[in-house]
Amino acid sequence: MNSSNPVLNRYNRRGYASMGNSNVGTTGFNTSYDAQEGGQLEDLYNAPAASSMRTGRMTMDDVVTRTSMLFGILLITGAFAWNANLGGGVLIGSLIAATALGFVIAFSRKVRPALILTYAALEGIVIGTISAVYESAYPGIVSQAVLATAVAFAGVLFAYRTGRIQITDRAKKIAMGAIIGYLILGVVNIFGGNFIFNGTFGPFVALFGVGLATFFLAMDFDQAAKAVAIGVPQEESWRVGFGLMVSVVWLYLEVLRLLSILRNND
């Protein structure tokens, strides 16, 4: 039976079912042929598991490797920005460039690793500069935000792997509607003098942002698992890693903002 998924159909057309045996469905195999087939099957079972390099399909190891590379670049440029005191001009320029590049990556049909690596470097500059500003105003807040983000990441991953979080189509629609509303709220906040995010409702809005970013992280885990299951091409691991990096950075910034609001209210 053919699948409606074009990726699965492509693999079905390769004829894995026959295993190279032109006599499937016939009778009267001779002994030498049976022995030959038996030897081939024994060699097949004794062979090592096929990797993404051999199959061309993405594995979870590919996702972990690409994501680690992106975070490595982000941390390097982030540490540089933290110590370099680059200023607001570099921050705004890097933020605009990263945002534009992010849209190109997200909507491009072709996976472009060079653009994704460049985005990670720009994002590191933005995060490093913002973190330095927060740290100067609230000593120790960055280490708290990093720890909270790491705990949230591990918790969401555990909850997803154990089935405690179910990513349904209905949940995805609600999440997309929520993020659109959150973005509109952010625009209103900018032109309204920051009265929403830092006003009376600031802590509640920040908590909502943390929850929304956390759920999107769970959606990224679900996307990665489903992509591996249907056998998407190996280069798609770059796109999955990009999505995970964006969600983790978003979560970190929301946690950082929440902690700063709580510090102000002390």
Phi, psi of 237 (to 5 degrees): -65, -25
Beta-carbon contacts of residue 202 (< 8 Å; ≥ 6 apart): 196, 261
Share of the chain above pLDDT 70, in %: 74
| CA angle centred on 138, ends 132 and 141, rounded to 5° | 75
Give the Cα separation of 198 and 196 in Å (integer): 6
Helix (H) or strand (E) holding 135, with range, is: helix 113-137
**Which whole-number Å values give the CA distances from 125 to 95, 97, 119, 129, 148, in the listed order?**
9, 11, 10, 6, 21
Phi, psi of 57 (to 5 degrees): -105, 150
What's the pLDDT tens digit per position in 94-137? 999 999 999 999 999 899 999 999 999 999 999 999 999 999 99
Give the Cα separation of 43 and 25 in Å (integer): 23
| 35 pLDDT tier (thresholds 50, 70, 90) | very low
The phi-psi region of residue 57 (left if phi > 0; otherwise alpha if psi is between -120 and 50; otherwise beta) is beta
What is the chain's alpha carbon radius of gyration, rounded to the nearest angstrom? 24
pLDDT of 23 > 80? The answer is no
Per-residue pLDDT, 192 = 59
Q: What is the pTM of this model?
A: 0.75
**Where do the domains of the chain lie?**
56-265
**Which whole-number Å values give the CA distances from 243 to 120, 172, 194, 237, in the listed order?**
11, 15, 28, 10
Give the Cα separation of 159 and 142 in Å (integer): 25
